[in-house]
Amino acid sequence: MMQQPVGKLLLFGATGDLAQRMLLPSLYALHADGLLPPDLTITGTARSDHDDDGYRAFAAKALDQFLPADRKDDSAVQSFLQRLFYQTLDASTIEGYAELKEKIGDISGGLAIFLSTAPWLFGPTIKGLESAGLAGDNVRISLEKPLGRDLASSREINDIVAEAFPEERTFRIDHYLGKETVQNILALRFGNSLFEPVWNARGIDSVQITVSETVGLEGRAGFYDDTGALRDMVQNHMLQLVALIAMEPPARLDGTSVRDEKVKVLRSLRKIAIADAPNLTVIGQYGGGAVKGEIVRDYTTDLGKSSRTETFVAIKAHVDNWRWQGVPFYLRTGKRLAERRSEIVIRFKPVPHSIFAERGGMLQPNALVIRLQPEEYVQLLVMAKQPGLDREGYRLREVPLNLSLDAEFAGTRRRIAYERLLLDLIEGDPTLFVRRDEVEAQWEWIDAIRAGWDANDLKPKPYASGSWGPSLAIALTERDGVHWHE
């Protein structure tokens, strides 16, 4: 496994939205904190016409716009810009790659390539890189999703990449895995003796994962309408969260052990049969309504045409193995919902016998809430007695034991996910990247759901913007006696 830092970084799509909002600010932050190899150069490439100075001016503008005020430091920005170079390239034709190679120069110290381009460009890009000698043993490539629309197209893309880059030099990004709280799942589960004994079907009643957004299409209309909520969120981020919550303890914290355990979970997901798709899944599409006090339009108006794309999906899933037999995993994600939130809620089984019932005390089962955004915290909801003399009965109340990462680590600089992932790519650590067998197991499960929707001709149910989605999503959990955590 070649785990040493590379000397060169090549960014495809270097003038795009992702580069401006995430990649350049992340690379600058790593530079400002002295974490990049001192001689690392960063070459950007895209169709836009720039020379080195033009691109440095472009990057300076992006940093000015997207860096938080407390991170801006003129001398650090100036020294960072000196690392940047640029080569104009039409990635779709083989011409131009030789010039790109010349621009990058000597790659004997290793090269990392970050590919954030349209998927149809992957083929020509890989061929171009190969033709110019930019795909050798000391080159690793990082792929930004979407990697396909289904299992077949995902395999096709992975095959194209694999012709030039073997699995150990291919780094597939799921930016959720770079989030601090997501890695805290591993620390919580495997760093504390408290949880592991009850982290199974004997101790846990249900698991809920919610990734809700308040935004609508926001400039991604064409991409989103072709994709929909199931492919956009469930196939990658949410299934990765399921894998981290449900995996067995890995032997060690390295790329092979962690990903071996994750793929076992993804392969254990019970396929949703065609006949069960209407009962185990709910799809919706946002209508008009109000979000944060602002009147918003429905999806069809936002898009400019009628469409059957789902902007909301809720699923009742099961992991068929010893640890999780019979425990439902409820997943839901959607746009234009009541609030922006990513969280995991683990509901534990109730106590076997309540001694408080005849004194009027009502018990709630314990729950563990792991909030990923907008705030980052972990809460354990436990029962406590309300103070008082209890003449009217025994009053119990659910109270949170709180670990707020924002408060607890207030002095520590919070990193955005891409900082960690770019540094891991530069240094060659694959642990937080997604392996091919994981991607394919995810797609297999997702494709079965889509087949069920098609066979049953399921159309998305309308829901009011600013709500929590179609009422059927509430019924999905309520019939099992479970409430969504709101």
Domain holding 130: CATH number?
3.40.50.720
- How does the average pLDDT of the chain come out, rounded? 94
pTM (2 decimals)?
0.94
Tell me: do 135 and 187 sit in the same domain: no
Tell me: do 102 and 211 sit in the same domain: no
Annotation marks residue 237 as catalytic: yes
Tell me: do 37 and 119 sit in the same domain: yes
Identify the band that residue 235 occupies on the pLDDT scale cut at 50, 70 and 90: very high
What is the rounded CA–CA span in Å between residue 78 and residue 218? 33
Give the pLDDT confidence of 21-43 residue by residue, as tens digits: 999 999 999 999 999 999 999 99
As a whole-number percent, the residues of the chain with pLDDT over 90 amount to: 85
Q: What is the pLDDT of residue 1?
A: 46
Tell me: do 392 and 328 sit in the same domain: yes
Q: Is residue 167 part of a domain?
A: no
Give the pLDDT confidence of 341-361 residue by residue, as tens digits: 999 999 999 999 999 888 878
What is the rounded CA–CA span in Å between residue 194 and residue 173? 32
- Known binding-site residue numbers: 47, 145, 175, 179, 213, 232, 335
Q: Is residue 473 part of a domain?
A: yes
Tell me: do 279 and 399 sit in the same domain: yes
Beta carbons of 12 and 113 less than 8 angstroms apart:
yes
Would you say residue 395 has pLDDT above 90? no
Q: What is the pLDDT of residue 2?
A: 53
Residue 171, token pair as written in the block: 């780094």
- Known binding-site residue numbers for NADP(+): 47, 145
Tell me: do 230 and 138 sit in the same domain: no
Structurally, the chain folds into a number of domains equal to 2
Q: Is residue 247 part of a domain?
A: yes
> Would you call 173 helix, strand, or coil by DSSP?
coil
Q: What is the pLDDT of residue 246?
A: 98
Q: What is the pLDDT of residue 223?
A: 85
What domain range includes position 403? Answer: 177-413+435-479
From residue 404, alpha-carbon distances to 247, 370, 380, 384, 398 in Å are 25, 10, 11, 20, 18
Beta carbons of 76 and 32 less than 8 angstroms apart:
yes
Identify the band that residue 160 occupies on the pLDDT scale cut at 50, 70 and 90: very high
Q: Is residue 160 part of a domain?
A: no
Would you say residue 176 has pLDDT above 80? yes
- Known binding-site residue numbers for substrate: 175, 179, 213, 232, 335
Averaged over 107-114, what is the pLDDT?
97
Q: Which of 50, 237, 318, 353 is catalytic?
A: 237
Would you say residue 219 has pLDDT above 80? no
Nearest C-alpha neighbor of 469 from the set 320, 283, 195: 283
Give the pLDDT confidence of 245-256 residue by residue, as tens digits: 999 999 999 999
Domain holding 291: CATH number?
3.30.360.10
DSSP-assigned states of every residue in 441-468: HHHHHHHHHHHHHHHTT--PEEEEETBS
Choose the final residue of a domain: 95, 124, 144: 144
Three-state SS sequence of 395-408:
CEEEEEEEEEHHHH
